[in-house]
């Protein structure tokens, strides 16, 4: 099963390799990982998408918690979070399909951020499944290049992660 896990970490030297090393060393999967500083000086926030059965996920969260630089681990799998991901997509856009690409972009409220006579580069933001959906439509038209951020997640409701 797919899990989205948020990990709050101290902004220490090497913390990313500690987390990544934990996953590779113990044979856990990482589908995606995104990381950046937060509003608090010393804290960065990672969003990791992983998969595994219940026992494996329990081990993943326990091992993350065990890392000294990890302050908090939240498993958002129960749907208690909003997830967003951004993708930049370079699509073949020549005479016959230029209009089709724009139409698809429009439906998904995606933006064209770079144009050449042979291509459009599109920025799309949304839930991971929305990104999957637009990619599915664009793929037959010719995907030249794709970059996804991997999802970031934040809990629903008024409370922050500290409660």
Nearer to another protein, 24 or 127 (CB): 24
Applying CB under 8 A, does 57 fall inside the site for another protein? Answer: no
118, 123, 127, 129 alpha-carbon torsion, rounded to 10°: 0
CB atoms within 10 A of CB 13: 9
CA 62 to chain centre: 22
CB of 51 to another protein, least distance (A): 18
Applying CB under 8 A, does 68 fall inside the site for another protein? Answer: yes
- Taking the C-alpha atoms of residue 98 and residue 96, their distance in angstroms, rounded to an integer, is 6
Q: Which stretch binds another protein (CB under 8 A): 68-76, 86-94, 109-117, 139-147?
A: 68-76
Applying CB under 8 A, does 30 fall inside the site for another protein? Answer: no
- Taking the C-alpha atoms of residue 127 and residue 107, their distance in angstroms, rounded to an integer, is 15
User: Which residues make up the interface to another protein (CB under 8 A)?
Assistant: 9-10, 13-14, 17-18, 21, 25, 55, 58-59, 62-63, 65-72
């Amino acid at each position: 099963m797919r899990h989205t896990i948020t990990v709050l970490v101290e902004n220490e030297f090497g913390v990313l390799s500690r987390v990544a090393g934990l996953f590779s060393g113990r044979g856990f999967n990482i589908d995606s990982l995104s990381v950046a500083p937060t509003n608090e000086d010393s804290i960065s926030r990672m969003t990791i998408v992983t998969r595994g059965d219940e026992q494996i996920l329990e081990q993943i969260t326990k091992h993350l918690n065990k890392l000294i630089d990890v302050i908090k681990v939240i498993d958002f799998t129960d749907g208690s979070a909003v997830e967003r991901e951004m993708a930049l997509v370079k699509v073949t856009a020549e005479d016959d399909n230029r209009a089709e690409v724009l139409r698809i972009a429009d439906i998904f409220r995606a933006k064209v951020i770079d144009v050449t006579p042979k291509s459009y580069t599109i920025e799309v933001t949304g839930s991971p499944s929305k990104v999957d959906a637009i990619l599915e439509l664009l793929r037959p038209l010719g995907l030249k290049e794709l970059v996804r951020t991997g999802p970031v997640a934040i809990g629903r409701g008024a409370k922050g992660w500290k409660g």
